[in-house]
Amino acid sequence: MSKVIIIGAGGVANVVAKKCAQNDSVFTEVLIATRTVAKADKIVAEIKEHMPDSKAVFTTATVDADNVPELVKLINDFGPKMVINVALPYQDLTIMDACLETGVHYLDTANYEPKDVAKFEYSWQWAYQDRFKEKGLMALLGCGFDPGATQAFTAHHAKHHFQEIHYLDIVDCNNGNHGKAFATNFNPEINIREITANGRYWENGQWVETQPLEISQDIYYPKVATRKSFVLYHEELESLVKHFPTIKRARFWMTFGEAYIKHLNVLEGIGMTSIEPIDFRGMKVAPIEFLKAVLPAPESLAAGYSGQTCIGVQAKGIGKDGQPKVHFVYNVKDHADCYREVQAQGVSYTTGVPAMIGAMLMLQGEWMQPGVWNVEQLDPDPFFDAMNKWGLPISELADIELVKD
């Protein structure tokens, strides 16, 4: 039915490509374009080896996604209906510009972040609203798991369970073990920038700032474990409090093990997580970019990764019957199952599957509408059906408060 371009060939792109290969009645021709084309070639070779029955036709190309003219040429040569951007947040705006110029739809999994300022927010991408609307094009922002599925979970709470949501807690537990002393589960540079930044949550109409990892609580993750979890700022909080103005408090919690925090503290203490370039043998090098080169690539963690992820959203407020209510919506995914299915670890898998689903719902017309959209603005029902079908089954838990005030 549709031609698409996937930009990037890292851990998440590997999953998006393989789920497109499984869903070959929707994704008939796929071009994987990235900086290091050998990584795209490897993904295509694995698809041929592990999914010989897929009718989707895959090709690869080299592209510098920071360069708009290069992107425009790539898109014009291939002629896709949409671009799935799973490169890095730094490339969001150049890829959106190229989509506008060539008249194709756009989807990504993380909001724009300038490379030289550790700051991410939707303002840059929301500013494209009129241009996408005028051209009759859709841009779907942040359609991974968190952001992404977590916003569909919130929309589901609002549509099916609550008159008013007052308290929202997004919880993200990785209870997996990859056997390495220190590694990040997705792009190290982006991940470390997120965790070492100050925490922030929404309360009574304003943002409350915390020190990094200052607030913690033991949270029970159903079917997985009770784990110490920390408040950190996550991008979907910004759009959720905008689109659900009844929310009085919104927080995001993530688990980190003691060893992880110890390594991070040391790396930060000696300046290795800094984005400020230093002079090294006549070159300018940002320590965090050097650190990324030293750490294991996220996709290399997949073989032998054990344990599960559990990501969910707890809502508290006034239920549809007018009574106080608490409700939890979540998914549990096993790392080893992900590896068996698409040679990936759970964090890449839980991001890549919603990206494929978002693209499918756009291409099939269920979600397609001109403008720039966040996931919670769209109907969660077809997304839930597709999550259950494509490997991320959703569970619900009523009347138990997992995250305390």
Choices 57-65, 99-107, 270-278, 390-398 (CB under 6 A): range interacting with ligand NDP: 57-65
Q: Per CB under 6 A, does 109 bind ligand NDP?
A: yes
Among 20, 23, 89, 212, which residue sits at the site for ligand NDP (rule: CB under 6 A)? 89
Q: Are 252 and 201 in contact (CB under 8 A)?
A: yes
The residue (of 77 and 279) whose beta carbon lies closer to ligand NDP is 77
CA distance 354 to 360: 10
Q: Which of residues 87 and 315 has its CB atom nearest to ligand NDP in the complex?
A: 87
Residue number, 109 or 161, with CB nearest to ligand NDP: 109
User: 21, 31, 87, 326: which one contacts ligand NDP (CB under 6 A)?
Assistant: 87
Query: Which amino acid, residue 357?
Result: I
In the set 1, 25, 36, 320, which binds ligand NDP (CB under 6 A)?
36
Estimate to the nearest angstrom the gap between the alpha carbon of 321 and the chain centroid.
34
- Whose CA is closest to 352, among 1, 9, 2? 9
Nearer to ligand NDP, 23 or 91 (CB): 91
Q: Which of 23, 91, 196, 345: binder of ligand NDP (CB under 6 A)?
A: 91
Distance CA 235, CA 177 (A): 26
Dist. CA 96–CA 42, nearest whole Å? 27
- 381 lies in the binding site for ligand NDP (CB under 6 A): no
Binding of ligand NDP by 60 (CB under 6 A): no
* Beta bridge pairs of residue 282: none
Contact flag: residue 300 with ligand NDP (CB under 6 A): no
CB-based contact 113:288 (threshold 8 Å): no
Give the 3-state secondary structure of residue 374: strand
Identify the three-state secondary structure at position 21. helix
Question: What is the residue-wise DSSP string for 252-278?
Answer: EEEE--HHHHHHHHHHHHTTTT--S-E
Q: Is 329 an interacting residue with respect to ligand NDP (CB under 6 A)?
A: no
Nearer to ligand NDP by C-beta: 326 or 357? 357
Q: Shortest distance, CB of residue 35 to ligand NDP, whole angstroms?
A: 3
Q: Which stretch binds ligand NDP (CB under 6 A): 30-38, 205-213, 240-248, 275-283?
A: 30-38
187 near ligand NDP (CB under 6 A):
yes
> Which contacts of 272-276 are long-range, i.e. CB under 8 A and separated by 24 or more positions?
273/192, 273/193, 273/196, 275/115, 275/116, 275/118, 275/193
Q: Which residue is nearest to ligand NDP (CB)?
A: 10
How far apart (Å, rounded) are the C-alpha atoms in residues 311 and 43? 27
Q: Does 351 bind ligand NDP (CB under 6 A)?
A: yes
- Residue 232: name the closest of 254, 202, 256 by CA: 254
Contact between 170 and ligand NDP by CB under 6 A: the answer reads no
Chain contacts with ligand NDP (rule: CB under 6 A):
8-13, 34-36, 39, 63-66, 86-89, 91, 109-110, 142, 144-148, 186-187, 190, 298-299, 347, 351
